[in-house]
Amino acid sequence: MTEPLLVAHDVHLSFGTTAALAGASVQVRPGEVLALLGASGSGKSTLLHCLAGILVPDSGEVRYRGQRVDDQSDAVRSSLRRSDFGFVFQFGSLVPELTALENVALPLQLAGRKRRDAEAVALQWLERLEVGDVAGKLPGEVSGGQGQRVAVARALVAGPRVVFADEPTGALDSLNGELVMELLIGAAREQGASVVLVTHEPRVAAYADREVVLRDGALAAEVCA
């Protein structure tokens, strides 16, 4: 059996007196599409943030490729997000003042790539995701569907091993939602990247290889597709 790429073990996290995660454990295998499901407030987004190194759990551990992530410095976790992880969120993931092309090129530039190189790669990804025509537009000037495809392109441009997607179709109509999911999953599979998907929509969860249901901050059930 393949070694898990990403592991959360007995993770606890509270915001003040509210426990968001209460002993949640989950594994993500290489190339796998994992959906985190659950009711509002069940802790699925918080678990995704812990897996991605955005939040640090109060206890428990998160390992990526066998190495602890949760006890690493902010700089190391930032570096991981830059090189190995990609993100697609429902809102707020694009820089509103940058064009679509500049947004997609941003992770490469932060990693030290030259601007021209970074933008050349970014344009290829935009075209691959069928939004090459909006490369010069600002996020506020494109439709919701186009914006999410730009976000997908940005999530994949640095060749991540894991893509974290938090309600990626939450603000889209069903047609656009399906299009975004197909492009996201298709491109991730082509890259060999795993996808951790938070959703409450069965249609979106259907793209996953495995579904994990959370309740009250802990794993309640696991379903293989």
Name the site residues for other proteins (rule: CB under 8 A): 49, 52, 54-55, 74-75, 78-83, 85, 87, 89, 91-99, 102, 106-107, 109-112, 139-140, 147, 154
The nearer residue to other proteins, 30 or 170, going by C-beta atoms, is 170
CB of 103 to other proteins, least distance (A): 8
CB of 177 to other proteins, least distance (A): 16
79 Cβ partners below 8 Å, 6+ apart?
A: none
Strands 85-89 and 162-166: parallel
**d(Cα 25, Cα 207) in Å, to the nearest integer?**
22
The nearer residue to other proteins, 21 or 52, going by C-beta atoms, is 52
| CB-neighbour burial class of residue 101 (10 A; exposed 0-12, middle 13-18, buried 19+) | buried
CB of 102 to other proteins, least distance (A): 7
The nearer residue to other proteins, 66 or 140, going by C-beta atoms, is 140
Q: What string of DSSP letters covers 112-142? A: T--HHHHHHHHHHHHHHTT-GGGTTS-GGGS
CB of 91 to other proteins, least distance (A): 5
CB of 97 to other proteins, least distance (A): 3
Q: How far apart are the first and last CA of the chain?
A: 18
The nearer residue to other proteins, 59 or 83, going by C-beta atoms, is 83
CB 131 within 8 A of CB 150: yes
The nearer residue to other proteins, 111 or 206, going by C-beta atoms, is 111
Q: Which two tokens stand for residue 114?
A: 């030259």
